[in-house]
Amino acid sequence: MSRIPVILDTDPGVDDAAAILLALASPEFHVLGISVVAGNVGLEASVANASKLVALAQRRDVPVMAGAALPLVGTQIFGKYLQVGTFDDDLVAPTDAEPGEQSAIRFIAEQARAAGAQGRTITICAMGPLTNVALALRLHPDVARGIERIVMMGGAFTALGHRTPFAEYNILADPHAAQIVWQSGVPLVLMSLDVTFQALFTEADFAGLEAKGSPAGKALAGLLRRFDRSDVKRFGRPGGPIHDAMTVAWLLQPELFSGNDCAVGVTLYGPTAGQTWADIHNKTVQSPNAHVVNHVDEAAYRRLVVERIAGLGAAVPQRHSELRELHA
């Protein structure tokens, strides 16, 4: 089986934690590294959280690197759950795992250029503000060529915003970076609020995460309970979304999702800064620059996330050794 070489660009963050654990639990991936960006929480806390997560998943072989501490141009805005800070030690055990010395931005650029030079490509799962990816693309014109696609969580098209009336957080936090990435010519798959709001995780899922006694599953369930993401008024039913994990899930099981290829863009400033538009009905002459996902098989997505993470490090000997071999 040939594994998908992937960089996880992330600002953990609780839903990032789910995405990272899902990726580390999936033998389909060769996780080249975790490039961390300031976003949901500050850069230092994000890096600490990423380090805790690789230790939790017993994957300290995956390098964690610090990237951009600030958005490209605008004023810094943190996530709604800034108070998450560094994951509480009672939920995610402390670790002595240290981040790598290398800059996450240079890592992305070097991995992409090296791949491109050898006629290979890498995939990027982007789950935070796009600052790291945008800076990497600007470092050298060859970087774009080495990227197969960027699967990203961000934007809100038919859904309204969740941070301002019109803006989704990852885009709002660095709209200029989003513009750079979206106009880079690299194929994009967008998981916007339109689709991430369709899958809501409830207590039954949290219990499922813990069912096999996996430390990763227990930690994630604990985080999801402590930082309740439900909003019955908005979603019309109980449960909360786990936005970021959809990027990883799309790479694992694209058949769970459907969407359209369309032109997308972002507003850089003013009261609607961070608003994203998608030309779903072909009203512009611009050619499509993204695959905008608008539907998910909710039950199958929840099952994928829950089962994979519940099995991560759980005592199922055969599966476990198989994973270890793949990761070696």
Residues near another protein (CB under 8 A) are 68-70, 72-73, 103, 105-106, 131, 135, 138-141, 176, 179-180, 268-270
Q: What is d(CA 74, CA 72) in angstroms, rounded to the nearest whole number?
A: 6
Least distance from C-beta 275 to another protein, angstroms?
Answer: 15
8 A C-beta contact, residue 33 and residue 65 = yes
CA dihedral for 231, 86, 43, 49, sign (positive or negative): negative
Q: 72 or 122, CB closer to another protein?
A: 72
Least distance from C-beta 179 to another protein, angstroms?
Answer: 7
Exposed/middle/buried for residue 143 (C-beta within 10 Å: 0-12, 13-18, 19+): buried
Residue 86 identity: T
Least distance from C-beta 72 to another protein, angstroms?
Answer: 6
For residue 269, count other CB atoms closer than 10 A to its CB: 11
Q: 108 or 188, CB closer to another protein?
A: 108
Q: In 222-322, where do the E strands start and end? A: 240-241, 257-262, 264-266, 276-278, 290-296
Least distance from C-beta 253 to another protein, angstroms?
Answer: 35
Q: 268 or 280, CB closer to another protein?
A: 268
Q: 268 or 326, CB closer to another protein?
A: 268
Task: Output 283-288 pairs: Cβ under 8 A, ≥24 positions apart.
Answer: 287/263, 288/261, 288/262, 288/263
Least distance from C-beta 58 to another protein, angstroms?
Answer: 31
Q: 139 or 326, CB closer to another protein?
A: 139
Residue 22 identity: L
Q: What is d(CA 65, CA 70) in angstroms, rounded to the nearest whole number?
A: 15
Catalytic residue among 162, 243, 291, 320: 243
Secondary structure tally for the chain: helices H, strands E? 13, 12
Active site residue 140: no
Q: What is d(CA 64, CA 47) in angstroms, rounded to the nearest whole number?
A: 7
Residues designated as active site: 243
